[in-house]
Amino acid sequence: MSKHSSLRLAALAAAAVLALPATAADRVKVGLMSTLSGAGSGLGIDIRDGFQLAVKHAGGKLGGLPAEVIVADDQMSPDAAKQTADRLLKRDKVDFMTGIVFSNIMLAVAPPVFQSRTFYISANAGPSQLAGAQCNPYFFSASYQNDNMHEAVGKTVQARGVKKIALLAPNYPAGKDALAGFKRFYKGEIALETYTPLNQLDYGAELSQIRASGADAVYIFLPGGLGINFIKQFTSTGLNKEMKLFAPGFSADEDVIRAVGEPMLGIFNSSQWAHDMDNAANKRFVADFQKEYGRLPTLYAAQGYDAARLIDGAVKTVGGKIEDKAAVRKALEAAKFESVRGEFKFNTNHFPVQDYYLREVVKDAQGRVTNKTVGKVFDNHADAYAGDCKMPAETP
Protein backbone atom coordinates (compact mmCIF):
# COMPACT_ATOMS: atom_id res chain seq x y z
CA MET A 1 0.00 0.00 0.00
CA SER A 2 1.34 3.44 -0.94
CA LYS A 3 2.09 6.14 1.61
CA HIS A 4 -0.67 8.27 0.05
CA SER A 5 -3.23 5.46 0.43
CA SER A 6 -2.24 4.89 4.06
CA LEU A 7 -2.70 8.57 4.88
CA ARG A 8 -6.09 8.60 3.14
CA LEU A 9 -7.28 5.58 5.12
CA ALA A 10 -6.08 7.13 8.36
CA ALA A 11 -7.98 10.33 7.55
CA LEU A 12 -11.15 8.36 6.74
CA ALA A 13 -10.83 6.44 10.00
CA ALA A 14 -10.48 9.67 11.97
CA ALA A 15 -13.48 11.15 10.21
CA ALA A 16 -15.53 8.06 11.02
CA VAL A 17 -14.67 8.41 14.71
CA LEU A 18 -15.64 12.10 14.67
CA ALA A 19 -18.93 11.21 12.96
CA LEU A 20 -19.97 8.80 15.69
CA PRO A 21 -22.97 10.05 17.69
CA ALA A 22 -22.19 11.44 21.13
CA THR A 23 -22.91 9.08 23.99
CA ALA A 24 -24.00 9.99 27.49
CA ALA A 25 -21.18 10.63 29.94
CA ASP A 26 -20.97 8.70 33.21
CA ARG A 27 -20.55 11.88 35.30
CA VAL A 28 -20.25 15.66 35.14
CA LYS A 29 -17.06 17.34 36.40
CA VAL A 30 -17.21 20.98 37.46
CA GLY A 31 -14.22 23.11 38.36
CA LEU A 32 -15.45 25.61 40.95
CA MET A 33 -12.60 28.05 41.38
CA SER A 34 -13.40 31.03 43.59
CA THR A 35 -11.91 33.44 46.13
CA LEU A 36 -11.89 31.40 49.33
CA SER A 37 -9.21 33.29 51.28
CA GLY A 38 -8.44 36.93 52.01
CA ALA A 39 -10.72 39.98 52.02
CA GLY A 40 -13.02 38.61 49.33
CA SER A 41 -13.39 35.13 50.76
CA GLY A 42 -16.93 35.60 52.05
CA LEU A 43 -18.14 36.14 48.50
CA GLY A 44 -16.46 33.02 47.13
CA ILE A 45 -17.65 30.93 50.07
CA ASP A 46 -21.24 31.98 49.40
CA ILE A 47 -20.93 31.08 45.70
CA ARG A 48 -19.48 27.69 46.64
CA ASP A 49 -22.16 27.01 49.24
CA GLY A 50 -25.00 28.05 46.94
CA PHE A 51 -23.68 25.86 44.12
CA GLN A 52 -23.25 22.86 46.39
CA LEU A 53 -26.75 23.29 47.83
CA ALA A 54 -28.18 23.08 44.30
CA VAL A 55 -26.22 19.86 43.69
CA LYS A 56 -27.55 18.50 46.98
CA HIS A 57 -31.10 19.42 45.96
CA ALA A 58 -30.52 17.42 42.76
CA GLY A 59 -29.47 14.34 44.72
CA GLY A 60 -25.75 14.85 44.14
CA LYS A 61 -26.28 15.01 40.38
CA LEU A 62 -26.37 17.52 37.55
CA GLY A 63 -28.71 16.70 34.70
CA GLY A 64 -29.19 13.22 36.08
CA LEU A 65 -25.47 12.41 36.04
CA PRO A 66 -23.35 12.06 39.21
CA ALA A 67 -21.65 15.41 39.85
CA GLU A 68 -18.01 15.80 40.83
CA VAL A 69 -17.38 19.38 41.99
CA ILE A 70 -13.68 20.20 42.33
CA VAL A 71 -13.33 23.27 44.57
CA ALA A 72 -10.22 25.46 44.35
CA ASP A 73 -9.09 28.82 45.75
CA ASP A 74 -7.94 31.46 43.26
CA GLN A 75 -6.38 33.40 46.18
CA MET A 76 -7.75 36.64 44.61
CA SER A 77 -4.70 36.50 42.33
CA PRO A 78 -4.82 36.38 38.50
CA ASP A 79 -1.51 34.47 38.37
CA ALA A 80 -2.61 31.87 40.92
CA ALA A 81 -5.97 31.59 39.15
CA LYS A 82 -4.35 30.90 35.77
CA GLN A 83 -2.22 28.12 37.28
CA THR A 84 -5.22 26.58 39.04
CA ALA A 85 -7.38 26.82 35.93
CA ASP A 86 -4.66 25.10 33.92
CA ARG A 87 -4.74 22.19 36.39
CA LEU A 88 -8.53 21.95 36.31
CA LEU A 89 -8.61 21.97 32.52
CA LYS A 90 -5.64 19.73 31.71
CA ARG A 91 -5.31 17.36 34.66
CA ASP A 92 -8.87 17.16 35.96
CA LYS A 93 -10.46 17.64 32.52
CA VAL A 94 -13.54 19.40 33.90
CA ASP A 95 -16.63 19.71 31.71
CA PHE A 96 -17.69 23.10 33.10
CA MET A 97 -16.05 25.86 35.11
CA THR A 98 -17.63 28.41 37.45
CA GLY A 99 -17.10 30.39 40.65
CA ILE A 100 -14.93 33.44 39.88
CA VAL A 101 -15.83 36.54 41.90
CA PHE A 102 -13.53 39.25 40.52
CA SER A 103 -13.47 40.45 36.91
CA ASN A 104 -9.69 40.87 36.68
CA ILE A 105 -9.39 37.15 37.47
CA MET A 106 -12.15 36.28 34.98
CA LEU A 107 -10.36 38.15 32.20
CA ALA A 108 -7.07 36.41 33.05
CA VAL A 109 -8.61 32.93 33.03
CA ALA A 110 -10.99 33.31 30.09
CA PRO A 111 -8.50 32.70 27.20
CA PRO A 112 -7.30 29.23 28.30
CA VAL A 113 -10.85 28.19 29.25
CA PHE A 114 -12.24 29.16 25.86
CA GLN A 115 -9.26 27.66 23.99
CA SER A 116 -9.97 24.34 25.71
CA ARG A 117 -13.63 24.50 24.52
CA THR A 118 -14.84 24.36 28.12
CA PHE A 119 -18.08 26.14 29.03
CA TYR A 120 -17.68 28.79 31.70
CA ILE A 121 -20.84 29.55 33.72
CA SER A 122 -20.29 32.78 35.62
CA ALA A 123 -21.73 32.92 39.12
CA ASN A 124 -20.60 36.52 39.53
CA ALA A 125 -18.01 38.29 37.36
CA GLY A 126 -19.57 39.96 34.31
CA PRO A 127 -16.93 42.18 32.69
CA SER A 128 -18.00 44.50 29.89
CA GLN A 129 -15.34 43.02 27.58
CA LEU A 130 -17.04 39.60 27.59
CA ALA A 131 -20.45 41.19 27.06
CA GLY A 132 -19.31 43.15 24.01
CA ALA A 133 -16.57 42.73 21.43
CA GLN A 134 -14.92 39.79 23.22
CA CYS A 135 -18.12 37.78 23.76
CA ASN A 136 -17.58 34.05 23.38
CA PRO A 137 -19.80 31.01 22.71
CA TYR A 138 -18.26 29.26 25.73
CA PHE A 139 -19.14 32.02 28.23
CA PHE A 140 -22.53 32.26 29.92
CA SER A 141 -23.44 34.53 32.83
CA ALA A 142 -25.85 33.23 35.46
CA SER A 143 -25.49 36.53 37.31
CA TYR A 144 -25.48 39.97 35.58
CA GLN A 145 -23.29 42.26 33.51
CA ASN A 146 -21.06 44.37 35.77
CA ASP A 147 -22.71 47.71 34.96
CA ASN A 148 -26.31 46.69 35.57
CA MET A 149 -26.83 47.00 39.34
CA HIS A 150 -25.03 50.34 39.27
CA GLU A 151 -27.29 51.54 36.47
CA ALA A 152 -30.27 50.73 38.71
CA VAL A 153 -28.87 52.81 41.57
CA GLY A 154 -27.93 55.63 39.19
CA LYS A 155 -31.54 55.77 38.00
CA THR A 156 -32.80 55.68 41.61
CA VAL A 157 -30.48 58.45 42.80
CA GLN A 158 -31.44 60.59 39.79
CA ALA A 159 -35.15 60.06 40.51
CA ARG A 160 -34.67 61.06 44.16
CA GLY A 161 -33.29 64.40 43.14
CA VAL A 162 -29.74 64.08 44.46
CA LYS A 163 -27.87 67.04 42.97
CA LYS A 164 -24.27 66.22 43.86
CA ILE A 165 -22.68 62.84 44.60
CA ALA A 166 -19.30 61.32 45.50
CA LEU A 167 -18.33 58.02 43.85
CA LEU A 168 -15.95 55.37 45.20
CA ALA A 169 -14.93 52.03 43.68
CA PRO A 170 -11.89 49.72 43.51
CA ASN A 171 -9.42 50.25 40.68
CA TYR A 172 -10.04 47.10 38.60
CA PRO A 173 -12.33 46.22 35.66
CA ALA A 174 -15.54 45.78 37.66
CA GLY A 175 -14.89 49.07 39.49
CA LYS A 176 -14.60 50.92 36.18
CA ASP A 177 -17.73 49.18 34.86
CA ALA A 178 -19.55 50.05 38.09
CA LEU A 179 -19.10 53.79 37.91
CA ALA A 180 -19.64 53.81 34.13
CA GLY A 181 -22.99 52.10 34.73
CA PHE A 182 -23.97 54.52 37.51
CA LYS A 183 -23.12 57.58 35.39
CA ARG A 184 -25.08 56.19 32.45
CA PHE A 185 -28.30 56.95 34.38
CA TYR A 186 -27.27 59.64 36.89
CA LYS A 187 -27.04 63.09 35.32
CA GLY A 188 -26.28 65.26 38.38
CA GLU A 189 -22.90 66.64 39.44
CA ILE A 190 -20.07 64.24 40.27
CA ALA A 191 -18.39 65.93 43.24
CA LEU A 192 -15.69 63.27 43.54
CA GLU A 193 -14.75 60.09 41.64
CA THR A 194 -12.16 57.96 43.39
CA TYR A 195 -10.67 54.54 42.58
CA THR A 196 -8.84 52.70 45.36
CA PRO A 197 -6.61 49.59 45.41
CA LEU A 198 -8.62 46.35 45.37
CA ASN A 199 -7.09 45.26 48.68
CA GLN A 200 -7.54 48.60 50.52
CA LEU A 201 -9.30 48.42 53.89
CA ASP A 202 -8.57 51.85 55.43
CA TYR A 203 -10.59 54.70 53.93
CA GLY A 204 -9.59 57.59 56.21
CA ALA A 205 -8.16 59.70 53.37
CA GLU A 206 -11.13 59.03 51.10
CA LEU A 207 -13.63 59.91 53.86
CA SER A 208 -11.88 63.24 54.38
CA GLN A 209 -12.09 63.92 50.64
CA ILE A 210 -15.78 62.99 50.60
CA ARG A 211 -16.53 65.35 53.49
CA ALA A 212 -14.67 68.19 51.76
CA SER A 213 -16.39 67.54 48.40
CA GLY A 214 -19.71 69.03 49.45
CA ALA A 215 -21.59 66.00 48.09
CA ASP A 216 -25.21 65.41 49.09
CA ALA A 217 -24.78 61.63 48.89
CA VAL A 218 -22.21 58.89 48.39
CA TYR A 219 -22.29 55.89 46.06
CA ILE A 220 -19.89 53.02 46.73
CA PHE A 221 -19.05 49.77 45.03
CA LEU A 222 -16.87 47.96 47.57
CA PRO A 223 -17.54 44.19 47.72
CA GLY A 224 -17.04 41.98 50.77
CA GLY A 225 -14.56 43.11 53.40
CA LEU A 226 -13.95 46.37 51.55
CA GLY A 227 -17.57 47.45 51.99
CA ILE A 228 -17.66 46.26 55.60
CA ASN A 229 -14.67 48.43 56.52
CA PHE A 230 -15.86 51.47 54.57
CA ILE A 231 -19.35 51.50 56.09
CA LYS A 232 -17.99 51.04 59.62
CA GLN A 233 -15.61 53.96 59.06
CA PHE A 234 -18.29 56.06 57.30
CA THR A 235 -20.63 55.79 60.28
CA SER A 236 -17.93 56.15 62.96
CA THR A 237 -16.92 59.52 61.48
CA GLY A 238 -20.54 60.70 61.55
CA LEU A 239 -20.74 61.14 57.78
CA ASN A 240 -23.93 59.07 57.74
CA LYS A 241 -25.63 62.01 59.50
CA GLU A 242 -24.49 64.43 56.78
CA MET A 243 -25.12 62.51 53.55
CA LYS A 244 -27.08 59.51 52.28
CA LEU A 245 -25.19 56.35 51.37
CA PHE A 246 -26.23 54.30 48.31
CA ALA A 247 -24.76 50.99 47.12
CA PRO A 248 -25.23 48.09 44.73
CA GLY A 249 -26.37 44.81 46.24
CA PHE A 250 -22.77 43.64 46.63
CA SER A 251 -21.92 46.37 49.13
CA ALA A 252 -25.09 46.13 51.23
CA ASP A 253 -25.82 42.42 51.18
CA GLU A 254 -26.36 40.03 54.09
CA ASP A 255 -22.62 39.39 54.59
CA VAL A 256 -21.99 43.13 55.06
CA ILE A 257 -25.09 43.50 57.25
CA ARG A 258 -23.95 40.66 59.53
CA ALA A 259 -20.61 42.36 60.06
CA VAL A 260 -21.82 45.96 60.43
CA GLY A 261 -25.26 45.64 62.04
CA GLU A 262 -27.60 48.56 62.72
CA PRO A 263 -25.46 51.27 61.08
CA MET A 264 -26.62 49.66 57.81
CA LEU A 265 -30.24 50.67 58.43
CA GLY A 266 -31.68 52.87 55.72
CA ILE A 267 -29.12 52.07 53.01
CA PHE A 268 -30.72 51.66 49.59
CA ASN A 269 -29.17 49.14 47.22
CA SER A 270 -30.00 47.33 43.99
CA SER A 271 -30.05 43.68 42.96
CA GLN A 272 -31.59 41.27 40.50
CA TRP A 273 -32.42 39.01 43.46
CA ALA A 274 -33.60 39.29 47.06
CA HIS A 275 -34.23 36.71 49.75
CA ASP A 276 -37.86 37.89 50.06
CA MET A 277 -38.74 37.22 46.40
CA ASP A 278 -42.03 35.35 46.29
CA ASN A 279 -41.49 32.27 44.15
CA ALA A 280 -41.29 28.59 45.06
CA ALA A 281 -37.68 28.05 43.96
CA ASN A 282 -36.47 31.02 46.00
CA LYS A 283 -38.43 30.09 49.10
CA ARG A 284 -36.92 26.61 49.07
CA PHE A 285 -33.43 27.96 48.40
CA VAL A 286 -33.53 30.54 51.21
CA ALA A 287 -35.03 28.16 53.77
CA ASP A 288 -32.64 25.32 53.00
CA PHE A 289 -29.58 27.59 52.79
CA GLN A 290 -30.34 28.84 56.31
CA LYS A 291 -30.78 25.27 57.56
CA GLU A 292 -27.60 24.07 55.86
CA TYR A 293 -25.28 26.98 56.69
CA GLY A 294 -26.93 28.91 59.53
CA ARG A 295 -27.13 32.26 57.75
CA LEU A 296 -29.23 34.16 55.24
CA PRO A 297 -27.92 33.79 51.68
CA THR A 298 -26.43 36.68 49.74
CA LEU A 299 -26.88 37.37 46.04
CA TYR A 300 -23.55 35.55 45.55
CA ALA A 301 -25.08 32.40 47.03
CA ALA A 302 -28.17 32.83 44.86
CA GLN A 303 -25.99 33.18 41.76
CA GLY A 304 -23.98 30.08 42.69
CA TYR A 305 -27.24 28.18 43.11
CA ASP A 306 -28.56 29.35 39.74
CA ALA A 307 -25.25 28.53 38.02
CA ALA A 308 -25.63 24.92 39.13
CA ARG A 309 -29.30 24.86 38.10
CA LEU A 310 -28.39 26.19 34.64
CA ILE A 311 -25.81 23.42 34.18
CA ASP A 312 -28.33 20.87 35.50
CA GLY A 313 -30.96 21.97 32.98
CA ALA A 314 -28.54 21.92 30.05
CA VAL A 315 -27.10 18.47 30.84
CA LYS A 316 -30.62 17.14 31.24
CA THR A 317 -31.69 18.66 27.91
CA VAL A 318 -28.83 16.96 26.00
CA GLY A 319 -29.48 13.63 27.70
CA GLY A 320 -26.05 13.63 29.35
CA LYS A 321 -24.23 13.90 25.99
CA ILE A 322 -21.94 16.68 27.19
CA GLU A 323 -19.29 16.01 24.52
CA ASP A 324 -21.70 17.45 21.95
CA LYS A 325 -20.59 21.07 22.37
CA ALA A 326 -23.09 22.50 19.89
CA ALA A 327 -25.97 20.77 21.65
CA VAL A 328 -24.78 21.89 25.09
CA ARG A 329 -24.47 25.48 23.87
CA LYS A 330 -28.02 25.38 22.48
CA ALA A 331 -29.29 23.90 25.76
CA LEU A 332 -27.53 26.56 27.83
CA GLU A 333 -28.96 29.31 25.61
CA ALA A 334 -32.46 27.90 26.18
CA ALA A 335 -31.90 28.19 29.98
CA LYS A 336 -34.44 25.52 30.93
CA PHE A 337 -34.25 25.78 34.70
CA GLU A 338 -36.22 27.30 37.55
CA SER A 339 -34.29 30.35 38.73
CA VAL A 340 -34.53 31.75 42.25
CA ARG A 341 -35.09 35.20 40.69
CA GLY A 342 -38.11 34.04 38.65
CA GLU A 343 -38.06 34.26 34.86
CA PHE A 344 -34.59 33.84 33.34
CA LYS A 345 -33.55 34.36 29.74
CA PHE A 346 -30.33 35.13 27.86
CA ASN A 347 -29.55 37.94 25.48
CA THR A 348 -27.58 37.22 22.29
CA ASN A 349 -24.32 37.84 24.20
CA HIS A 350 -25.10 35.12 26.79
CA PHE A 351 -25.83 37.65 29.56
CA PRO A 352 -29.25 37.72 31.26
CA VAL A 353 -32.06 40.07 30.32
CA GLN A 354 -33.72 40.51 33.71
CA ASP A 355 -35.48 42.73 36.23
CA TYR A 356 -33.59 44.82 38.80
CA TYR A 357 -35.00 45.78 42.18
CA LEU A 358 -34.44 48.42 44.83
CA ARG A 359 -33.83 47.06 48.33
CA GLU A 360 -33.58 48.89 51.65
CA VAL A 361 -31.82 47.68 54.78
CA VAL A 362 -34.48 47.53 57.50
CA LYS A 363 -35.23 45.79 60.79
CA ASP A 364 -37.81 43.11 60.02
CA ALA A 365 -40.61 41.65 62.15
CA GLN A 366 -38.14 39.15 63.64
CA GLY A 367 -35.82 41.97 64.74
CA ARG A 368 -33.22 41.12 62.10
CA VAL A 369 -31.34 43.82 60.24
CA THR A 370 -31.80 42.70 56.65
CA ASN A 371 -32.77 43.72 53.13
CA LYS A 372 -36.35 44.30 52.08
CA THR A 373 -37.46 44.71 48.48
CA VAL A 374 -39.14 48.11 48.13
CA GLY A 375 -39.64 48.44 44.38
CA LYS A 376 -38.60 47.57 40.84
CA VAL A 377 -36.17 49.78 38.93
CA PHE A 378 -35.87 47.99 35.57
CA ASP A 379 -38.03 45.51 33.66
CA ASN A 380 -36.26 43.08 31.30
CA HIS A 381 -33.08 45.15 31.39
CA ALA A 382 -30.32 44.35 28.88
CA ASP A 383 -26.71 45.46 29.18
CA ALA A 384 -25.23 48.28 27.12
CA TYR A 385 -22.65 46.11 25.31
CA ALA A 386 -24.75 43.41 23.62
CA GLY A 387 -24.80 45.35 20.34
CA ASP A 388 -21.02 45.03 20.10
CA CYS A 389 -21.14 41.23 20.40
CA LYS A 390 -20.74 39.30 17.18
CA MET A 391 -21.44 35.84 18.58
CA PRO A 392 -20.40 33.03 16.22
CA ALA A 393 -23.39 31.15 14.83
CA GLU A 394 -21.67 27.80 15.39
CA THR A 395 -19.66 26.54 18.35
CA PRO A 396 -16.13 25.87 17.00
Question: pLDDT (tens digit, 9 = 90+) per residue, 287-313?
Answer: 999 999 999 999 999 999 999 999 999
In angstroms, the CA 99 to CA 281 distance is 21
The CA distances from residue 99 to 43, 236, 356, in Å, are 10, 34, 22
The CA dihedral of 129, 132, 137, 140, to the nearest 10 degrees, is 70
For the chain, the three-class secondary structure string (H helix, E strand, C coil) is CCHHHHHHHHHHHHHHHHHCCCCCCCCEEEEEEECCCCCCHHHHHHHHHHHHHHHHHCCCEECCEEEEEEEEECCCCHHHHHHHHHHHHHCCCCCEEECCCCHHHHHHHHHHHHHCCCEEEECCCCCHHHHCCCCCCCEEECCCCCCHHHHHHHHHHHHCCCCEEEEEEECCHHHHHHHHHHHHHCCCEEEEEEEECCCCCCCHHHHHHHHHHCCCEEEECCCCHHHHHHHHHHHHCCHHHCCEEEEEHHHHCHHHHHHHCHHHCCCEEEECCCCCCCCHHHHHHHHHHHHHHCCCCCHHHHHHHHHHHHHHHHHHHCCCCCCCHHHHHHHHHHCCCCECCECCCECCCCCECEEEEEEEEEECCCCCEEEEEEEEEEEEECCCCHHHCCCCCCCC
- Regions in the chain scoring below 50 on pLDDT: 1-7, 9-19
For 363-391, the three-class secondary structure string (H helix, E strand, C coil) is ECCCCCEEEEEEEEEEEEECCCCHHHCCC
pLDDT of residue 91: 97
pLDDT of residue 15: 45
pLDDT of residue 395: 77
Question: pLDDT (tens digit, 9 = 90+) per residue, 252-290?
Answer: 999 999 999 999 999 999 999 999 999 999 999 999 999
pLDDT of residue 12: 45
pLDDT of residue 396: 76
pLDDT of residue 16: 44
